[in-house]
Amino acid sequence: MTEKYFIPSEYQNQIEKGEVTWKSPSNIALIKYWGKEANQIPANPSISFTLNACATTTNLKFTRRKERGTEFSIDLFFEGKRKEDFKPKIITFLERVEEYLPFLKQYHFIIETSNSFPHSSGIASSASGLSALALGLMSLEKELNPKMTEEFFVKKASFLARLGSGSAARSIEGDLVEWGAHNGIENSSNLHAIKYPYAVHSVFKKYHDTILLVDKGQKEVSSTVGHNLMHGHPFSQQRFKQAHGNLTKLKGVFEKGDLKTFIEIVESEALTLHAMMMTSLPYFVLMKPNTLEIINKIWEFRKKTNSNVCFTLDAGANVHVLYPESEKDVIFQFIKDELVAFCQNGQYICDRIGFGAKKM
Ligand code: PMV
Please check whether residues 60 and 153 belong to one and the same domain: yes
* pLDDT > 70? residue 19: yes
**Residue 158: pLDDT over 90:** yes
The CA distance from 114 to 81, in Å, is 10
pLDDT of 150 higher than 90 = yes
Q: Which has the minimum average pLDDT: 112-121, 138-147, 282-291?
A: 112-121
Q: How far apart are CA 98 and CA 94, in angstroms?
A: 6
Is the model's pLDDT at 120 over the cut of 70?
no
Q: For 20-31, write each residue's pLDDT tens digit.
A: 999 999 999 999
pLDDT, mean of residues 65-74: 95
User: Average pLDDT for residues 12-21, to the nearest whole number?
Assistant: 96
Same domain, 23 and 172: yes
* pLDDT, position 324: 98
Cβ-proximal residues to 106 (8 Å cutoff; 6+ apart), any chain: 64, 65, 68, 69
**Are 287 and 343 contained in the same domain?**
yes
Q: Are residues 318 and 243 in the same domain?
A: yes
Task: Give the number of other Cβ atoms within 10 Å of residue 237's Cβ.
Answer: 12
pTM metric for this prediction: 0.96
Q: Provide CB contacts within 8 A for 55, sequence distance 6+.
A: 23, 24, 25, 26, 115, 116, 128, 132
Whether residue 357 is contained in a domain is answered as no
Q: Which of 27, 31, 32, 170 to mutate to test the pocket of ligand 1 (most atoms within 8 A of CB)?
A: 32
19 and 166 co-located in one domain: yes
Atom of ligand 1 nearest to the CA of 127: 1
137 pLDDT more than 90: yes
CB-based pocket (< 6 A), ligand 1: 29, 32-34, 46, 124, 126, 165-167, 223, 227, 273, 314-315
Distance 354 CA to ligand 1 centre (A): 18
Range of the domain at 186: 3-199
What is the 3-state composition of the chain as percent helix, strand, coil, each rounded to the nearest 5? 45, 25, 35
pLDDT tier for residue 218 given thresholds of 50, 70 and 90: low
pLDDT value, residue 219: 67
Judge whether residue 121 has pLDDT over 70.
no
pLDDT band at 221 (very low <50, low <70, confident <90, very high): confident
Q: Tell me which residue of 145, 207, 126, 220 sits closest to 174, measured CA to CA.
A: 207
Same domain for 20 and 102, yes or no, is yes
358 falls within a domain: no
Mean pLDDT for the stretch of residues 269-289? 96
Average pLDDT across the chain, whole number: 96
Number of domains into which the chain is organized:
2
pLDDT grade, residue 91 (50/70/90)? very high
Nearest to 174 by CA among 206, 138, 148: 206
E-strand stretches of 137-282: 176-179, 193-195, 208-212
Last residue of a domain, one of 199, 218, 238: 199
Phi then psi for 6, rounded to 5 degrees? -100, 5
CB-facing half-sphere around the CA of 227: CA atoms within 13 A: 19
User: In this predicted structure, what is the pLDDT of residue 54?
Assistant: 96
Cα distances from 114 to residues 74, 107, 284, in angstroms, run 17, 22, 30
Is the predicted pLDDT of residue 251 greater than 90, yes or no? yes
Closest ligand 1 atom to the C-alpha of 165? 1
pLDDT computed for residue 222 by the predictor: 84
- Provide the CB-side half-sphere exposure for 322 (13 A, CA): 27
pLDDT, position 122: 65
pLDDT at 59 over 80: yes
Residue 111, amino acid: I
The predicted model gives 267-289 an average pLDDT of 96
Q: Are 30 and 269 in contact (CB under 8 A)?
A: yes
